[in-house]
C-alpha cells in the first residue's frame, strides 16, 4: 500500500487455536482506529514467502469474534526455518510496503517471529496454542476453550462409564506438554493422569484402578496425554488383561479439541492481546510477545520466550491424586 500510512502484516501459524480470529479482529480494528493499514497474510509463513496478501478493512473482520479456526488459515511451514525462506519473506514484505508483522501462534511460530526480529523486521508475537506450553504468559489463547471441550466430553463419558462400571481411557492432545491432561484431571475428577513430563508406572496405574474398584467407585477415569510414554491402546489392553475389576473403553478426543467457538475467557484474552500488539508498535516496541502476567498484558522479549521452556507445575499432578480418593 503506497499511501504513506504505517502498514502492519498479520498472520496465524502452526496449529490453529480458538480465539485466533478474535485476536485478528482486535488488531485490525485497533490499527484502523489509529490510521494504520493492515494486510492479512494467508496460510501462515508459507503465505509470507509466497506473497499471499490481502488488505483487511473493518468489515473483513466482522462476524469472526465467535468463530473457531482462523480466517487467515494457517500452515506448518517447512521453508521458513531456513535463511533462504526468511530472506524471501522479507523481500515480499518490502514489495508490499509492510512495516511490521504480528504473528499469532505457538512456540514454533514465535521462533519464526524472533528470526525476523533478528533480521531487522519489527515483529510482535501473540501466544496462541491449546497446549499452553509457551513461556512468558500465564495462559495462551485457545487453551481455555480446549479445556472446556475436554471437560464437556469427559463429563459425558463419565455418565456412560458409571452406568456400566467401566474404566475409561481418554486421550487428550499435548504432543510435548501434559498441561491439558493434568488440568483435565482436576476439573473432570480423573483417577489417573499420564503426561509426557512423568514416566508412566504401569504397576502404579494398575494399583490405582484396582483400588478405585475396591473402594466402590462406579468408574475409573484415566486421562492420557498424547505425548506420554504409553499409548492409550496399550494401556487399555493392559488393564483388560490384568482383570482389575473394571472392563475398559477408550476415546481419543483428537482434533475436536482444537475447534469450536472460543469461550468468553479466550475472546477477552485474544481481544486484549490483539489491542496490545498494535499499541506496542505505536509505542515503538517490537521484538516482543504479549504475555498475560497477573492481571495485565505485558511485553515479553521474544528472545526470552524461545530460549526458555515452560514447565508444567507438578503441584497440579499431585492434586489429581489427592482429589481422586
Ligand atoms: O496445537 C498443538 C497440537 O494440538 C499438539 O498437541 C498436537 O500434537 C498437534 O497440535 C497436532 O497437530 P496437527 O495434527 O495439526 O499436526
pLDDT in tens, 140-156: 999 999 999 999 999 99
User: pLDDT band at 325, cuts 50/70/90?
Assistant: confident
99 is catalytic: no
Q: Is the pLDDT of residue 2 over 90?
A: no
Q: What is the mean pLDDT of residues 20-35?
A: 98
* pLDDT exceeds 90 at position 310: yes
Task: Write out pLDDT tens, residues 199-228.
Answer: 999 999 999 999 999 999 999 999 999 999
Residue given cell 508483522 in the structure block: 101
| Ligand 1 binding pocket mutation candidate from 132, 173, 231, 259 (most atoms within 8 A of CB) | 173
Architecture of domain 144-258: 3-Layer(aba) Sandwich (3.40)
Residue scoring higher pLDDT (245 or 277): 277
Nearest CA to ligand 1 atom 10: 15
Of 11, 9, 14, which is closest to residue 77 (Cα–Cα)? 14
Q: Which of 16, 131, 133, 266 is catalytic?
A: 131
CB-ligand 1 contact for 130 (6 Å cutoff):
yes
Distances (CA, A) of 67 to 101, 127, 257, 260: 23, 18, 14, 7
3-state secondary structure the chain: CCCCCCEEEEEECCCCCCCHHHHHHHHHHHHHHCCCEEEEECCHHHHHHHCCEEECCCHHHCCCCCCCCCCCCCCCCCCCCCHHHHHHHHHHHHHCCCCEEEEEECHHHHHHHHHHHHCCCEEEEEEECCCCCCCCCCCCECHHHHHHHHHHHHHHHHHHHHHHCEEEEEEECCCCCCHHHHHHHHHCCCCEEECCCCCCCHHHHHHHHHHHHHCCCCCEEEEEECCCCCCHHHHHHHHHHHCCCCEEEEEECHHHHHCCCCCHHHHHHHHHHHHHHHHHHHCCCCCEEEEEECCEEEEEEHHHHHHCCCCCCHHHHHHHHHHCC
What's the confidence (pLDDT) of residue 255?
98
Class of domain 7-142+262-306: alpha beta
Per-residue model confidence as pLDDT tens digits over 99-128: 999 999 999 999 999 999 999 999 999 999
User: How far, in Å, CA of 185 to CA of 121, rounded?
Assistant: 42
pLDDT at 1: 61
Query: How does the average pLDDT of the chain come out, rounded?
Result: 97
Domains 7-142+262-306 and 144-258 share a fold: yes
- pLDDT, tens digit, for every residue of 179-198? 999 999 999 999 999 999 99
The tens digit of pLDDT for each residue in 265-276 reads 999 999 999 999
CA–centroid distance, 175 to ligand 1, in Å, is: 7
**In the chain, what are the domain boundaries?**
7-142+262-306, 144-258
Query: How many percent of the chain have pLDDT more than 70?
Result: 99
Confidence class of residue 3 from pLDDT cuts 50, 70 and 90?
A: confident
Instruction: Answer whether 131 contacts ligand 1 (Cβ < 6 A).
Output: yes
Please state the pTM of the whole predicted model. 0.97
15 CB near ligand 1 (under 6 Å):
yes
Quick check: CB of 12 below 6 Å from ligand 1? Answer: no
- The whole-angstrom separation of Cα 266 and Cα 272 is 10
- CA-closest residue to ligand 1 atom 7: 175
Please tell me the residue having the least CA distance from ligand 1 atom 1.
Answer: 15
Amino acid at each position: 500500500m503506497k499511501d504513506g500510512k504505517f502498514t502492519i502484516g498479520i498472520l496465524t501459524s502452526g496449529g490453529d487455536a480458538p480465539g485466533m480470529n478474535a485476536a485478528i479482529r482486535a488488531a485490525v480494528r485497533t490499527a484502523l482506529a489509529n490510521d494504520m493499514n493492515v494486510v492479512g497474510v494467508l496460510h501462515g509463513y508459507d503465505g509470507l514467502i509466497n506473497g499471499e496478501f490481502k488488505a483487511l478493512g473493518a468489515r473483513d473482520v466482522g462476524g469472526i469474534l465467535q468463530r473457531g479456526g482462523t480466517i487467515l488459515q494457517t500452515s506448518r511451514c517447512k521453508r521458513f526455518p531456513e535463511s533462504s525462506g526468511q530472506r524471501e519473506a522479507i523481500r515480499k514484505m518490502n514489495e508490499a510496503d509492510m512495516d511490521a508483522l504480528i504473528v499469532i501462534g505457538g512456540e514454533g511460530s514465535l521462533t519464526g517471529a524472533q528470526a525476523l526480529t533478528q533480521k531487522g523486521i519489527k515483529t510482535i508475537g501473540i501466544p496462541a496454542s491449546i497446549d499452553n506450553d509457551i513461556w512468558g504468559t500465564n495462559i495462551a489463547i485457545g487453551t481455555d476453550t480446549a479445556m472446556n471441550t475436554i471437560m464437556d466430553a469427559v463429563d459425558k463419558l463419565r455418565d456412560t462409564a458409571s452406568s456400566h462400571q467401566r474404566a475409561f481411557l481418554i486421550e487428550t492432545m499435548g504432543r510435548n506438554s501434559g498441561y491439558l491432561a493434568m488440568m483435565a484431571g482436576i476439573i473432570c475428577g480423573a483417577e489417573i493422569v499420564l503426561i509426557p513430563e512423568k514416566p508412566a508406572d504401569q504397576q502404579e496405574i494398575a494399583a490405582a484402578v484396582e483400588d478405585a474398584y475396591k473402594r466402590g467407585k462406579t468408574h475409573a477415569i484415566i486421562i492420557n496425554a498424547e505425548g506420554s510414554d504409553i499409548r492409550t491402546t496399550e494401556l487399555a489392553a493392559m488393564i483388560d488383561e490384568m482383570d482389575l475389576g473394571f472392563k475398559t473403553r477408550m476415546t481419543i478426543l483428537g482434533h475436536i479439541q482444537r475447534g469450536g467457538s472460543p469461550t468468553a475467557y479466550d475472546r477477552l484474552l485474544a481481544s486484549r492481546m490483539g489491542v496490545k500488539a498494535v499499541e506496542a508498535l505505536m509505542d515503538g516496541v517490537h521484538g516482543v510477545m504479549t504475555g498475560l502476567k497477573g492481571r495485565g498484558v505485558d511485553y515479553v522479549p521474544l528472545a526470552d520466550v524461545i530460549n526458555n521452556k515452560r514447565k508444567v507445575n507438578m503441584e497440579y499432578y499431585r492434586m489429581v491424586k489427592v482429589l481422586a480418593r
